[in-house]
Structure 1
């Protein structure tokens, strides 16, 4: 790959770029984009391979967050195993997603998800780490008619249709979309639509004939067969399936948009609370690869239908939320890369803000409209929309009141972008069938269109109620008749194909250095206001890949804005670039993009040899940076019989420090690569054998990058704490009722061994400081999760804490503070404690100064 931009390409658009990037870098709060905004409640959901569908749960939600408690999703670096990742946090591998080079880990008791992510980020071995987000199932939207359609709504009479289904007259959306005319050419026959949703009432008389087996039960990692019972939980999957492909011309009920298309059930949840992000991604991959697990067209692939690009041709996903998930992004990228169309709902917030996966580049994002061709009040809007489709007062198949009755036909009115999406997926099925190469008997010989071409046909032929594009309905309201006509006009050769772009962000001063956590926005393409956003990793972890992908996006001229990494994560200053990028239809490009980043500065260099070692004394803290291949040496003087405590801690980037103590000849006397199992920071005790000079050697086991900053401190271990040493009440990270009586003295340059026991124990230490002194008080726990420390700094006579630190590296707090006045100060240490969480265990506290 050749460099695209250099320093000279920076423009005045940075302020806009940074605003856009910030608005898209939100934590996920996922909501099912169907029948209104639901409330996330503690629920129980089955996990792959552990339980039967609908049986007792295998996980519960974090009580205060919309994600699964005790689980972590990780993207693995090449050559690393899920087991390697689990060891970093003392966890276990629950399941793997090898197609995405990802895994799901269970965390040890007492290690919160957020802390595990920070630990993983420092490891340098992962592409990303994020929670296993949960997507909740809301209630039906209010105002939906239960008795019948608004009489003022004009519908095409059933007798005008070519089918004999008696309830077509209630399905205004079919006439609004021009479906009747489209049926003269295409009905969806031979096209498979994967419905990733709740379980479906698969024996519903108006669905049964179109259900295609096998399907996939993602939470239980099992195939769905004709004998698999409906789990009885939820209605959403049945509503969605009927919208896309309810059976037509069978003399009962109504019909779906593609009434002869096949529905492949992809069950992603068995719980009213919703579906996990992992199970959604697992369903997407299965839908493409099929039950044999082989990618289409690869060796051993035996289940991709001849002439088709995946096991299914279209995936409909009516779930979504307000943030960014790297797992979701990479799963959808995989779907698109294999030529399978991905259709998703815009969401029902309503908002113009970011939504996942509706904002995923290459996906067909669908807003909802009323019978009068207006955006519904609940539908999301924004410059990311592809099209709109009917999503209000939609009359569709519903779960039967008696699912054992083979003759019962149940229909209901529903509202939501969840139904605009499958209506569009049905139109996509008509397009694929109409454009396909056919055998002499009319069956499909080969699918000819790419996902981008399907999207372009829908957009270009849509009914535009106003201007060509607007943030309420995107490119317009889907018209199946016009879309099918365009599909028959040599569409494979004449409709513009999409573009695949792989961006690799590197430091402009050293192209071998990948930039962690870069956000990239492409503005332009098909229209000036279009914004396509992606990033190299999720959340706040400085994962050192710098790779950003865009799949099946529009060709055209773009402005690319990129920024990263965040200073708090990687030190130095973030790089920002902006520049023009022209993408030709049907091409795939890989671009090397140098970012003008500023690295952390190591003021102690050169200190790579014994002769140039930086002096360090007891009570000192020295900052260092470990670029590729670097070695840092520090020289100290010690007295025989004392014990020196040398401690390191990562400051930015992802250093995995390795410590050695050398004598004056360079002989290694002691060494350590981690202060405890699963932690990348090294620390060691050195009983001094003889008075004299010694050297601390610090290297980076990851090989090093210019972002990898750390500090090293030198203390004298002077003994153990003595109880009682003060009292206090702790709630979370807040202290109250503090009594400093009995606080243990701790001088600058000293370290003490101590214990939180019992779990509600509080230890208080006192020291004397001087104005302007920069103190560093650090905790090193002995065991993982025991204790999960929190520490506060107080000044004598002031009841308000000067600093409160929950943790710096998973469970070990570090208080860094510049004292404003000379006098007496107190350090208050305890375990993070709530009504359900507390921990006890041994630790060491050290106090030093820069």
Structure 2
């Protein structure tokens, strides 16, 4: 099953290496695979911990890419069809936070987040060599005695059974020195250069940057028994080079997630089992058998999680390093349930001082003074045979990936010659074998070492004992969360946690966790290849910023059997006790039920599923009535019509401007009498789709008086109130900002307890990009807003006392200028 056809999923580690134009907008579709070309230097422009101006947007099936690009005036950079996501570039001057907010109102958007980068840290200090030069494990590699990590993991004992031949490990990392004499024989082509979306072939030159990828590859599978250097944990396993960065700053999560998908699908970009798939080896779950990822960072990333889940969902093992902060806090890839998350140990089987710890750990492996091949200074010189001592959880991870390769090879079905016919263990089975055979100095699970230090010999022995049938398989769980009072309503989640399992009753697995201004999942979450057993499920949501309601919560029991693939909520859903927004004006679906509205009123209502709201108003011949709408929550696509008493349509507007889902129109009244404003949703509506409808008198163009003032960092300064235009509640004006030094000002009277609503609509998207402020008579700011719910600015404020108040409209964007409308209203009953 395609990952995006199922429910959307959802925390790399902190830092040893930790992570580093198209104008047409066709719909998302399966694209051809990458082409074999030499890599360029894909070096991103950084803005702190993210790629400048780039936003990753996840789309539901059928999501409108054009609507996303139009809403932000953005450019499409790349797309990932398998993960249902696009990478876009937003214009300079628009913050990513604001851009993500603007997308909250675009139907089909699952999430929006920056293209985070996990930065490359300074190499940790290494100590003097451990051990003397000697033969180890019957191999003739002269420097193998330096590799204490092989002795610690009992690799030689495992090699008596298997050396990992036939197993493919994707090393998702820096570009590897693929022609290093101690790696070349184990490199499997083609590999993949994710930043450039090209294949890596034997003719592809090394990019000349970095050492980390070479160190990682050598730890897992440096060639053994070749008379030079040392060996990897799986000395005959194949290394598939998967480059995720060409920058010393780190790797982006977009490039990382795309690399994970490629590792499963291979060069033809077809998932295993898809019609036409020609590059998945027979009897395999993916193009590779194991993905090693020694990158990560502190930022939660939806694209990274879904990329990892794509690997697990297709039955490929995923190994990631725990990180070098050292902390117990969350880090991106290492916290995704189902992965093998690895801490680093010393030669005495204790946690290193730099290794992260926590309840997410699976196992530990050597990560200090690791003797491995390094990137050569003379890339084209075969006699250059460079090695280095390195430290970090980045090497505990590939050491464990090498052990996983030994496990897969030992348990695999083979032909008479010993060649692998079928790899028959699931990711959870491999994890369980490594965990159950690890050496625990304390005799149990700890947050320092997980289940203990990997012992390759024990793991291989267990794999030989009919492991595909005897070792417990993992379980997978998809969920949909709904409102308890109305199961047809899906709930955007704050978070979901599973606690328990038969193996670890105190285990906590995190599903979704909304992060700051960016992530807004749609009520679905997934877990793949987790332990079977009994869980307590804890969920809370929705986020108040999305729905305006207090979060509800749910606690439920879930039992998962080994190998089970289960969906909760496919019918009734998992209920959350959430109070849905109430519409005080329902029913108002017919002319007889129409809600009365008068000039100056702004009414808040809910656009329910397949709803029609009618509002009745009286108007005089010759005046112009302005009917405006503003989304408050959710993502309605509003349409407004004006009808006469017989139901005849007199005016209609489904969008005030291109890309705006709020409708507004100015209606020239032909005759005195009663009229109806009909509000509908061009979509299907929804329980959280609340909106404001206002009725005002159109007053035409406000005189431009070139008022002085400036907006800096969301703050008004130097405003000249003496030229403020006198207005009143119930009026709408058209005004223009000439530059960002032009601050338009308005004056109106209000009474104590009156709730003022000042709403704006730019005539072009983001032009002007308004900042709106309400001030008292002394010029003190009372309330301000920059893009209400990610759209045009609106201020709502309850006036403390009778008197005169001022409104200012300006912009901190030097390029922001243009025409807008501004409406002055009040909530009814005030």
2:506 aligned partner: 529
2:438 aligned partner: 462
- Structure 2: gaps spanning 5 or more residues: 1-8, 21-32
2:802 aligned partner: 822
How much does 1:574 deviate?
2.5
1:698 aligned partner: 679
CA-based RMSD of the aligned residues comes to: 2.3
Answer yes or no: is the 8 Å Cα contact 2:39–2:198 preserved in 1: no
1:4 aligned partner: none
Q: Distance in 1 between matches of 2:184 and 2:74?
A: 43
1:776 to 749, 757, 772: 757
Q: Counterparts of 1:695-774 in structure 2 under 5 Å?
A: 695-724=676-705, 726-774=707-755
Q: Distance in 1 between matches of 2:484 and 2:210?
A: 53
- Structure 1 residue 267 and structure 2 residue 250: aligned? no
- Structure 1 residue 787 and structure 2 residue 768: aligned? yes
1:19 aligned partner: none
What secondary structure sits across from 1:632 in the alignment? strand
Q: Distance in 1 between matches of 2:36 and 2:528?
A: 36
1:33 aligned partner: 15
Residues 621 and 69 of structure 1, relative CA distance in 2, 3 Å threshold: same
Q: Distance in 2 between matches of 1:520 and 1:32?
A: 23
Q: Distance in 2 between matches of 1:498 and 1:770?
A: 65
How much does 1:122 deviate?
1.7
Answer yes or no: is the 8 Å Cα contact 1:33–1:318 preserved in 2: no
1:555-602 Cα shifts (integer Å, max 9, x gaps): 011100011111221133322100211111111111111222210111
How much does 1:58 deviate?
7.6
- Structure 1 residue 636 and structure 2 residue 621: aligned? no
More moved, 719-728 vs 472-481: 719-728
How much does 1:627 deviate?
1.4
- Structure 1 residue 314 and structure 2 residue 299: aligned? no
Q: Distance in 2 between matches of 1:710 and 1:484?
A: 62
1:38-91 Cα shifts (integer Å, max 9, x gaps): 9x9xxxxxxx98997664658523x3x422233322222223353454344343
1:805 aligned partner: 785
More moved, 641-650 vs 190-199: 641-650
Residues 134 and 352 of structure 1, relative CA distance in 2, 3 Å threshold: same
2:171 aligned partner: 195
How much does 1:536 deviate?
8.3
Residues 297 and 539 of structure 1, relative CA distance in 2, 3 Å threshold: farther
Q: Distance in 2 between matches of 1:809 and 1:687?
A: 30
- Structure 1 residue 555 and structure 2 residue 532: aligned? yes
Q: Distance in 2 between matches of 1:393 and 1:233?
A: 22
Q: Distance in 1 between matches of 2:39 and 2:67?
A: 32
Residues 754 and 315 of structure 1, relative CA distance in 2, 3 Å threshold: same
What secondary structure sits across from 1:741 in the alignment? helix
2:415 aligned partner: 439
1:355 aligned partner: 331
What secondary structure sits across from 2:593 in the alignment? coil
How much does 1:123 deviate?
1.9
What secondary structure sits across from 1:608 in the alignment? coil
Answer yes or no: is the 8 Å Cα contact 2:480–2:523 preserved in 1: yes
Q: Distance in 1 between matches of 2:499 and 2:318?
A: 22
Q: Counterparts of 1:383-402 in structure 2 under 5 Å?
A: 383-402=359-378
Answer yes or no: is the 8 Å Cα contact 1:540–1:569 preserved in 2: no
How much does 1:507 deviate?
2.0
2:90 to 107, 116, 125: 107
1:353-409 Cα shifts (integer Å, max 9, x gaps): 121111111111111112222222222111111111111221211111111211101
Q: Distance in 1 between matches of 2:142 and 2:658?
A: 68
How much does 1:347 deviate?
1.5
Answer yes or no: is the 8 Å Cα contact 2:15–2:118 preserved in 1: no
1:186 aligned partner: 162
Answer yes or no: is the 8 Å Cα contact 1:339–1:450 preserved in 2: yes
Answer yes or no: is the 8 Å Cα contact 1:498–1:585 preserved in 2: yes
1:424 aligned partner: 400
What secondary structure sits across from 1:429 in the alignment? helix
Residues 530 and 254 of structure 1, relative CA distance in 2, 3 Å threshold: same
What secondary structure sits across from 2:257 in the alignment? helix
1:647 to 599, 622, 628: 628
Q: Provide TM-score, normalisation by structure 2.
A: 0.93
Q: Counterparts of 1:34-183 in structure 2 under 5 Å?
A: 34-35=16-17, 55=40, 59-61=44-46, 63=47, 65-141=48-124, 143-145=125-127, 148-149=128-129, 155=131, 158-183=134-159
Residues 156 and 820 of structure 1, relative CA distance in 2, 3 Å threshold: farther
Q: Distance in 2 between matches of 1:715 and 1:361?
A: 54
1:687 to 661, 668, 677: 668
Q: Distance in 2 between matches of 1:808 and 1:313?
A: 48
1:409 to 385, 390, 394: 385
2:349 aligned partner: 373
2:258 to 282, 293, 314: 282
- Structure 1 residue 591 and structure 2 residue 568: aligned? yes
1:487 aligned partner: 463
Answer yes or no: is the 8 Å Cα contact 1:728–1:736 preserved in 2: yes
1:613 to 563, 588, 594: 594
What secondary structure sits across from 1:331 in the alignment? helix
Residues 460 and 400 of structure 1, relative CA distance in 2, 3 Å threshold: same
More moved, 498-507 vs 564-573: 564-573
What secondary structure sits across from 1:321 in the alignment? coil
1:129-163 Cα shifts (integer Å, max 9, x gaps): 2222222222212x323xx32xxx5x486334321
1:573 aligned partner: 550
What secondary structure sits across from 2:732 in the alignment? strand
How much does 1:331 deviate?
1.6
- Structure 1: gaps spanning 5 or more residues: 1-23, 41-47
Answer yes or no: is the 8 Å Cα contact 2:363–2:435 preserved in 1: yes
How much does 1:281 deviate?
1.1
2:491 aligned partner: 515
How much does 1:172 deviate?
1.4
Residues 121 and 755 of structure 1, relative CA distance in 2, 3 Å threshold: same
